[in-house]
Each structure stands twice: as C-alpha cells, then as structure tokens.
Chain A
C-alpha cells in the first residue's frame, strides 16, 4: 500500500461535520416502558370496572367528619412531632454530655422506647389508669388518671416519646457531623456551652438533620392512624365511623388515602425549602459533582 494511492480518499475521510446524526435506539428501554405502561393500564382498568362507587369517594372527600378527622390528624402530627423533637434534642445533648449519669439515662431511654412497637406504647399510656388510678404530686395537685389520659394525651405521649428515641439519634448524628474546630472557634469568642450549641452547632447540625427529620414527620402523619385504635378522632377513625354506618368500606378508605397523599405531598415541598434554608453557605453536592 502506498501513500499516493490512498491520498484522495483520506482527504474526504475527515470531512464529516455536515453528516446527519442518528441517535442510538434504546430498544430495551422501549420494551420495558411498554410493559410497565401496559400493566399500569390494566390496573387502572381494574379499578374503573371494580365495584367502587366513585360518587361516594367524591361526596365524602369533603364531608365534615372527614375534614374534622384530617384536622385532628394534623394536630396530632404537630403535637407528637414537637414532643419528639424536643425530647430528641434533650436526649441527644444528654447523650454527648460529659455527665455519666445523664448519658446513661439517654442510652436507656433510646433502648426502651425504641424497643417496643408504637401501637403497644399507645395502648400502655391509654390504659395507665389500671395501675395508677390517680396521678399528681401529693399535697399539691392530684388527677384521676382516666380524666387526664384522654385519647389525645395518650396518643401524643405514646407517639411523641417513642419518636423522641428515634429523633435523638438523628440529632446526635447531626451534632457529631459538626467539626470540632467549630466548637473551638465558638469557645474562643467567649461563648458558653449552651449558647455555642444554640448559635453555632445546632444550626450546622440542622443541615444534616433536616432530611431524616422530614422523613420522620412524613412517617408521623401516617403513624397517627394508630391512634384510631384508642378512639382518637383522626381521619382513619372517622372514615371507619362512616363506613360502619354506610358499609362503603373501600370508598372511605380511599378518601383517607387521598388525604394522606395530599398532606405528604405538601410536606415534601416544604422540606425542600427548609433544606435550602439550612444549607445556606454550603455548596450543594449536585453543583460540585
């Protein structure tokens, strides 16, 4: 082979900028998508021909009992989660404190309240009157436990206290994520321990804590349905009351499902903005990859 004989062909070989581009065909992707869409269509069809009276779903979506139940679900979510976060922060700070008694109590707290199902804890609080007929400080005040332990209080304590055990681990991982240099810098400008935690450490720990706590809030929205077992009038309980009367069981369960889905969707959007707030000053992982 000589250079001179191939030279004319080679001159055209590198002139390809004007040629048409044919993208690769993703045959596998197309097949997979088609199969999944087919299955989805079958599912939609099943629900549409199934014996669901959609008019009941529509009519009860905004029924006063359902809306009241939704309100109680949200109230319980906020109350139990607030208790859980407060306990979580306190337990986490006890856990990392130098005081061996406090840190042992923190370990024991997590061990006990993470060790039993939330439903069981709820029922224990609700039935506390069986072993403690009255509660209070002798001489100062005293209550009959059955008056104090309403479904609301029992559910809040049961859910909040067990949540505190989980949240304390989230808070602790957040505190551990803050560089020791930050603690030293805070001390070097004369901050006391509590001010350092509040102003310097916790705001930075929040960046790490927000995604799992957001997860827990969303979990709590659904966990409040356990309170239906102890007669707390949250949305599932109220849906049950209606279907015990009209026997449209699945329709009302769908009503409750839609409301849970709506609440969780709104919270997910909220979480995005909270994450962005606590991530200030930190380059996002996405932009640096």
Chain B
C-alpha cells in the first residue's frame, strides 16, 4: 500500500437550516485503503460521504480527491464554482453505491453497468459490454445479465450496483450503508463482494453498521457523532481499544 493520499477533507461543514449536520470534519484516506465511517444515525456520516461526490454542497471547508479540489476551481485568492459538466467529470472518478441500490429499472443488469461507460465515457458498446460481463461474473451474476432489477433480489441488485460503480473504472468507491436495506440473509453476499473488491486494492469509503466488516476488512475506522469526528485511527485500535468513552459505548451498543 502506498501512502498517497486520495481523499483529503479539511474542516468540512454543512448546515440544513439551523441543523449543523457536519461540523469541521477532517478525514484522510490513502490509495488502496478501506475506510469505514461508523456512528449513530443522524451523526452526519452519509452527508459527509455525499459531499465527496457533490451530491451535497458543503457550506464550509474543502475536499480534495486525487489532489483535485472538489466542486471549485482555485484562481488566486478566489474559489469559483465549477460548471455542471465539470462536476460531472469529477464524479466519473468516484463510484457510489447507495443504500437503496438505485439501479435504473428500465434497463437490464448489463445495460445498467454499460450506461455510464458508453454514454459518459464514450466507450464503444462492444468494449463496455465485455467489461460489464466480466464485472457481472466477478460479482457472481453472470447468468443474470439480461434480468431487470425488478427480477432480482435485494442482494443481487446491490451486487449489480457495485458492478455498475466499478464499470466506470473509478479511483474510489463510496458505499452509503450498502447492506442496511437488505434482508439479513442477503447481507453476507454483498459483504463478500465488497471484501473481494477491497482485496483487489480498490480504495473504499464505507458508511456502515456492520462491525464485522469493519473489523475484518477496514484499514481505518472513523467514529462520528453529532456532525463531528470523535475518533479516527487504525481499525484494530479504534474497534478494540477505543480511546474515547463515547466510541466505546457505541461499539458496545451495536455489538450486543
């Protein structure tokens, strides 16, 4: 693992009306790292994740992805908001997997994966199809390529969604509670795919309540509460011997 920093968030703040969702959040993720963000609901984990690919606009602070400022262009002492098409270009490097899958229901599994590469990256249909078929095989759904999302189980849909994110050949994939909407018996098939992806060296930021996944796969764990980063560090340290009392209480609560 290199020590190249791929995501750097500095003092990121976000308000929804009077509610301070993020309060000067600082996070660093290195290339090839799996970083889990844990914390109680409403702690701002998902909001922070969504700031990284500009699904939310931050009110303060800044995020760099691969040394490129997200959402702004610096010009001397001024920050200019970038255009719709520049935002779209920045998002191409960042995959995202949603809690509710959000597959395109009018497209088959294969078409879901090919859509971005063909429409956005300008890949040929043939190349995109070959890559998409390879990805579907990799998530164990090679035989489901012509199925529509409505014909797939939740776990299968989420595996297609992971393949769709990988189809863009991203530098980084964000996971927003990827197993929270699944029936309990379907969680492990999705976690297995994520584990496999982590082993292949993909940089991943995962908002999750799956402590087992955090313990087994994550390199670093960040604990957030009330919009603040309470504790961050190596997964083994934070999960086994948390320094902060609230971190310890949360980990105790979700494991029992």
Distance between Cα atoms of A190 and B165 in the complex (Å) = 11
Determine if B3 is an interface residue (Cβ-Cβ < 8 Å): no
Of the 9-residue stretches B12-20, B115-123, B225-233, B241-249, which lies at the interface with chain A? Answer: B115-123
Closest chain A CB from B221 CB (angstroms): 24
Please name all residues of chain B whose beta carbon is closer than 8 Å to the beta carbon of A281 when the two chains form the complex.
105-108, 148-150
Q: Is the CB of A191 within 8 A of B120?
A: yes
- Once the chains bind, are A195 and B120 in contact (CB under 8 Å)? yes
A207 to B89 alpha-carbon distance, docked (Å): 30
Cα–Cα distance between A188 and B104 once the two chains are bound (Å)? 12
- Interface SS of chain A: helix, strand, loop or mixed? helix
A185 adjacent to chain B (CB < 8 Å):
yes
Chain B residues with CB under 8 A of A179: 102
- By a CB distance below 8 angstroms, the chain B residues around A199 are 115, 119
Interface string of A184-221 (1 = CB under 8 A from B): 11111111110100011001100100000000000000
> Are the C-beta atoms of A190 and B105 separated by less than 8 Å?
no
Structural contact, B88 and A185, CB atoms closer than 8 A = no
B185 at the interface (CB under 8 A from A): no
Contacting pair A187 B91 (CB below 8 A) = yes
Q: Which residues of B contact A203 (CB under 8 A)?
A: 106
Is the CB–CB distance between A280 and B102 below 8 Å? no
Contacts of A191 in B (CB 8 A): 88, 116, 119-120
Q: A192 touches which one: B84, B103, B106, B165 (CB < 8 A)? A: B84
Q: Tell me if B149 and A190 are in contact (CB < 8 A).
A: no
Interface status of A283 (Cβ within 8 A of chain B): yes
Please name all residues of chain A whose beta carbon is closer than 8 Å to the beta carbon of B150 when the two chains form the complex.
281-283
State which residues 80-106 of B face A: CB under 8 Å. Answer: 84-85, 88-89, 91-92, 94-96, 98, 100, 102-106
A207 to B53: give the CA distance in the assembly, Å: 30
CA distance A66 to B107 in the complex (A): 45
* Docked-complex contact B103 and A185, CB < 8 angstroms: yes
Residue-wise, chain B 155-185 has the 8 Å CB interface mask toward A (1 for contact) of: 0000000001100100000000000000000
- A231 contacts the other chain (Cβ, under 8 Å)? no
Q: Is A185's CB under 8 angstroms from B91's CB?
A: no
Chain A residue with Cβ nearest B121: A190
- Choose one: B96, B98, B100, B106; the contact of A280 (CB below 8 Å): B106
Instruction: Collect the chain A residues with CB atoms within 8 Å of residue B121's CB.
Output: 190
Chain B residues closer than 8 Å to A193, beta-carbon distance: 84
B254 at the interface (CB under 8 A from A): no
Q: Complex Cα distance A200/B92, Å? A: 16
- Contact A280 B148, beta carbon cutoff 8 Å: yes
Residues of A within 8 A of B96 (CB): 184-185, 188
A182 at the interface (CB under 8 A from B): yes
Residue of B nearest to A277 (CB): B106
Q: How far is the CA of A36 from the CA of B104 in the complex (A)?
A: 49
Q: How far in angstroms is the closest Cβ of chain A from B174?
A: 8
B127 adjacent to chain A (CB < 8 Å): no
- Contact in complex: A184, B98 (CB < 8 Å): yes
A188 partner, pick from B89, B95, B103, beta carbons under 8 A: B95
Question: Is there an interface contact between A187 and B55, defined as CB atoms closer than 8 Å?
Answer: yes
**Binary contact readout A263-289 vs B (1 if CB under 8 angstroms, 0 otherwise):** 000000000000000101111000000
Please report the C-alpha to C-alpha distance between residue A187 and residue B165 in the assembled complex, in whole angstroms.
Answer: 12
Ordered by A's residue number, 23 sampled pairs between the chains whose C-beta atoms are within 8 Å are: A179-B102, A181-B98, A184-B102, A185-B103, A187-B54, A187-B91, A188-B55, A188-B96, A189-B115, A190-B91, A190-B92, A190-B120, A190-B121, A192-B84, A192-B85, A192-B88, A195-B119, A207-B106, A281-B105, A281-B149, A282-B105, A282-B106, A283-B150
Q: List 6 additional A-B contacts (Cβ < 8 Å) besides A190-B121, A281-B107.
A: A182-B102, A188-B91, A189-B168, A191-B119, A191-B120, A200-B104
Binding site for B on A (CB under 8 A): 179, 181-182, 184-193, 195, 199-200, 203-204, 207, 278, 280-283
Residues of B within 8 A of A (CB): 53-55, 84-85, 88-89, 91-92, 94-96, 98, 100, 102-108, 115-116, 119-121, 148-150, 164-165, 168
